[in-house]
Structure 1
C-alpha cells in the first residue's frame, strides 16, 4: 500500500452477483494477476448460508493472493470473518459502530454519492476512503445517483487539505470501464471500483492491467 494513503491506489474490484464461487475465485485470480489491489464482496441476492460460504472462501483466497478484502454493507459480517474492512452506504449503520466492532486497524470506506457534505462528515468520522458515484450509467444500479468529475476533484481537495496523515483515499465507482476510467483518475480518484467493467469483460486480466496502468 502507498504509505501516504489509508487505502491502496489502483484498481478496486467489486464482485458480480455470481453463485458459482469457483468461477469467481478464478476471476479474482485473473484480476489480481492484472494488477487489482483490493476486492469488495457485494452480494444482494445470495441466501445467508450461500453467502457466508462464498464470503469465507473469497476472504481466504484474497489473503492468499495478498490483496485487501472488503465486505459491502455489513460490518457485523466483516467482523465475523475477519475481513480487512467494510464499505458502508447511507443505510448501513454508523461509522462509529463499525469502528468499535472492527478496531482501528481495519478499513472503513463510505459512500458519499455526489454529496460534498457526506464526504466532509465521513472524514470527520475518520473513514479510510470516501467513494463517489455513479460516475457513468451503471448496469448494476441503473437508478443510482450520478456523480461528476467535479465531485471527485472536490473530494480530492478535501482529503488533501485534511490534516490526517496518511490521508483518506478517494474512490470512484459506477459504470467505470477501462475505456472511460482515464478522466476519473485524472480528476483525482486514487482508486477506481469496477464490477461489470472488470468481471464481465472478455479478458479480465488484460482489463485489470489496463486499469492498473492508469495509476503507473
Structure 2
C-alpha cells in the first residue's frame, strides 16, 4: 500500500446564513483565534434574494477585508467572476464552473477547490485539471445537507491516494473527527459545528478543534 506523508488537517470554515451583522461577529471571533486556514463565503439565502448578487458582493467584500486582516485565504462558492473581482479563490461544484476557466481568470496563487462527493474518478479529474484540493463528502449527515449521500470510508481512503489534498465535509464535529484520525486528509470543512454557536462560544470551539487535531495519528493508507 502507498505510504502517505503524515499530515495534520487544517480547519476550513464556511459561512452560514445568519444575518450579516451576526455572521461578521462570529467570523471575527473565529478568525482571531489564528486556527482557521481557509474561509469560504457561501451565502445561498442571500443570493436567492431579488438583489442577491449585489448584496453578496457587498457582504463578500467585507468578509474578504476581514480575512485579509488576519492573513487568511478566502474562496467564494461557485462564482468565478466574483472571486476574480475580489482577488480571491473559488470553490466549484460539479455543475458550477470549469477549473480551467477559474485558472484563466484568477491569479496563480489563488485556491481553486472542487466538489467530488464520494467519486474517486472525480478526484482524479480535479487533480488533472489543476485544482488546489478536492472535497469529499458527506462524511456524516449535517444540518446544512441532511439528505446528502454518505461516502464510504474506502472511497475516502482511495481519494487520499490520488496525490491531491483532500478536504472532508459533512456533519463533522470536534468529537466525531477522531473517526478519521488515521486518514491523511488536508482540510476539514466545518459550518454548523462552529457557526451555529453563539458568538461567545466560537473561539472555544475552534480551540476544541485544535485539540482534536493534536491527537492526529500517523496515517498509512
Equivalent in the alignment of 1:27: 26
On the 8 A contact 1:32/1:208 being kept in 2, the answer is no
Q: CA deviation at 1:185?
A: 4.0
Q: Once superposed, what is the RMSD of the aligned Cα atoms?
A: 1.8
Aligned equivalents of 1:185, 1:78: Cα separation in 2: 33
2:195 counterpart of 1:195: no
CA distance in 2, matches of 1:94, 1:118: 13
Unaligned runs of 5+ in 2: 47-51, 215-221
> After superposition, what is the alpha-carbon deviation per residue over 1:115-167, rounded to whole angstroms, capped at 9, x for unaligned?
000001110001110110111001111222222332222121111xxxxxxxx
Give how far 1:214 is off. 3.1
Confirm or deny: 8 A CA contact 1:29 1:65 kept in the other structure: no
**For residue 49 of structure 2, what is the aligned residue in structure 1?**
none
Alpha carbons 1:185, 1:192 under 8 Å: kept: no
Residue in structure 2 matched with residue 180 of structure 1 by the alignment: 176
Q: Runs of 5+ in structure 1 lacking a partner?
A: 160-167
Which structure has the bigger radius of gyration? 2
Instruction: Say whether 1:70 aligns with 2:89.
Output: no
Q: Which residue of 2 aligns with 1:51?
A: 56
Instruction: Identify if the C-alpha distance between structure 1 residues 148 and 204 changes in structure 2 by more than 3 Å, giving closer, same or farther.
Output: farther
Q: TM-score, normalised by structure 1?
A: 0.86
Q: Which residue number corresponds to residue 81 of structure 1?
A: 86
1:26-62 residue CA offsets vs partner (Å, 9 max, x unmatched)? 2112212331221100011112222111111000000
Aligned residue pair count: 200
